[in-house]
């Protein structure tokens, strides 16, 4: 499934959730479905902003990926493990977004992806922006990270949906 079709699939699930389902936190330290959606949108928009930064660059970057970054791109996605982000407000997604807000956010991600889809490979691959964990990524790598991240959260999405069903 293409990355954009995957995001469309996330979109198509949203109307079927009640607001209670979207905001339900199954246990302390676990995000709600709404928080997961919010996190995906904000991360995707940040990754696409990094594509913009690469495109606007005028200086080549000799540094490349970290070992974790090399592994990520070698296997074509995040490993199938749960990743705990450090505590902090930047890693605590909103749990108050409406379905409409989330749909608008996903639409914004899709629009930006479509805008870059045909242009991302025209950007000098040595124009890069730094990712704290994966090192220096070029525009293509940042763009691919969007889909990898949505794929990575499919298992979490399924677990949260199952938790609601078995509530």
- How many Å apart are CA 120 and CA 110, to the nearest integer? 15
Domain that holds residue 68: 3-165
- How many Å apart are CA 80 and CA 151, to the nearest integer? 10
1's CB contacts (< 8 A; 6+ apart) are 9
Handedness of CA 37, 43, 45, 48 (dihedral sign): negative
Q: Are 47 and 113 in contact (CB under 8 A)?
A: no
Ranges of beta strands (E only) in the chain are 128-131, 135-138
**120: pLDDT strictly greater than 70:** yes
**137: pLDDT strictly greater than 90:** yes
- How many Å apart are CA 43 and CA 39, to the nearest integer? 6
- How many Å apart are CA 141 and CA 164, to the nearest integer? 35
**1: pLDDT strictly greater than 70:** no
Tens of pLDDT, residue by residue over 11-70, are 999 999 999 999 999 888 889 999 999 999 999 999 999 999 999 999 999 999 999 999
Overall domain count for the chain: 1
Give mean pLDDT, residues 150-163. Answer: 91
Query: What pLDDT does 90 receive?
Result: 64
What is the domain-level CATH number for residue 146? 1.20.120.450
CA 3 to chain centre: 11
Tens of pLDDT, residue by residue over 64-108, are 999 999 999 999 999 887 877 766 666 778 899 999 999 999 999
């Amino acid at each position: 499934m293409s990355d954009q079709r995957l995001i469309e699939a996330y979109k198509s699930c949203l109307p079927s959730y009640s607001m209670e389902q979207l905001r339900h936190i199954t246990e302390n330290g676990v995000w709600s479905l709404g928080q997961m959606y919010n996190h995906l949108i904000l991360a995707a928009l940040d990754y696409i902003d990094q594509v913009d930064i690469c495109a606007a660059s005028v200086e080549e970057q000799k540094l490349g990926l970290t070992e974790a970054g090399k592994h990520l791109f070698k296997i074509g996605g995040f490993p199938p493990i749960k990743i705990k982000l450090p505590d902090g407000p930047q890693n605590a997604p909103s749990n108050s977004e409406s379905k409409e807000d989330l749909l608008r956010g996903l639409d914004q991600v899709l629009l930006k992806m479509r805008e870059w889809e045909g242009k991302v490979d025209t950007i000098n691959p040595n124009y890069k922006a730094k990712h704290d964990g994966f090192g220096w990524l070029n525009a293509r790598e940042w763009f691919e990270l969007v889909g990898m991240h949505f794929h990575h959260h499919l298992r979490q999405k399924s677990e949260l949906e199952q938790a609601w069903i078995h509530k």
